[in-house]
Amino acid sequence: MGTSGRQGAPPARWNDVVCLLGFLLFWVLPLSYRGVSGRRMVPYLPPFLNYLANASCLFTRSQYLLTLDYMQVLPTPGGQWLTLPEEDYFQMPPFGHRTRLAQFSRIFWRRPSAAAVARSELAAWIHARYTTLHPDQPAPVAVRFVTGLYRSRRQQPMPRWRKPPFESMPPADTQVVATYVVSPDGLRVSSPGSPDTPEASPCCGG
């Protein structure tokens, strides 16, 4: 009975064995080594397979700190900064937690030589857009870009990757990136603490 069972079994196919060994040797073992050691390159592995292993090991850890970008306007001198809803200014739906404003900010960081001019043009457009959306209100006297540090372990989760209100950010986790003051010649950048900055202090949250 045992003999008939062995005769009825399908013959071993060496190509299946080779494929299995290749899968274990060139994929499972490199991924395991990459995940355990934390090294970006597996020794003696061809560069192409190293790149594939690195791509497969993306997002193995959650992101505990996330920098969020906000834009604000100052309606009147000495008043309170108003955080603008991005939906009124960037119509394209966000991808994940990346909004159009976040994409602009990443470009500014990667190209610092062109960041000053590009950010100034964006501030001028936001100023004009705000004036168009609120014709019954006076034009703002300043525009600024600020960031807030989101700590996922301490703060409430963001529903559908929507940003929490900037006012809910702890002041220690906020930063003013750039402030643009309205002048007769248009918007011009103003450093925090300078006499022409229309705010008492460069602090955030208010």
In this prediction, residue 14 carries a pLDDT of 82
- Give the Å distances, CA to CA, from 15 to 18, 26, 57: 5, 16, 28
Of the two residues 77 and 101, the one the predictor is more confident about is 77
In this prediction, residue 67 carries a pLDDT of 82
In this prediction, residue 82 carries a pLDDT of 94
Look at residue 59 and tell me whether its pLDDT is greater than 50.
yes
Of the two residues 58 and 124, the one the predictor is more confident about is 124
pLDDT digits (tens, 9 = 90+) for 140-192: 999 999 988 888 666 555 556 677 889 888 899 999 988 999 887 767 777 55
In this prediction, residue 180 carries a pLDDT of 92
Q: What is the DSSP string of the chain?
A: -HHHHHHHSPPP-HHHHHHHHHHIIIIIHHHHHHHHH--SS-TTS-HHHHHHHHHHTTT-S---EEEEEEEEEESSTTS--EEPPGGGT--SPPBTTB-HHHHHHHHHHH-HHHHHHHHHHHHHHHHHHHHHH-TTSPPPSEEEEEEEEEETTTSPPPGGGPPPPGGGS-GGGEEEEEEEEEETTEEEEE-TT-TT-SSS-S----
pLDDT digits (tens, 9 = 90+) for 17-26: 888 888 887 7
pLDDT (average), residues 133-139: 92
Answering whether pTM is above 0.85, one says no
Look at residue 4 and tell me whether its pLDDT is greater than 70.
no
In this prediction, residue 204 carries a pLDDT of 47
In this prediction, residue 141 carries a pLDDT of 93
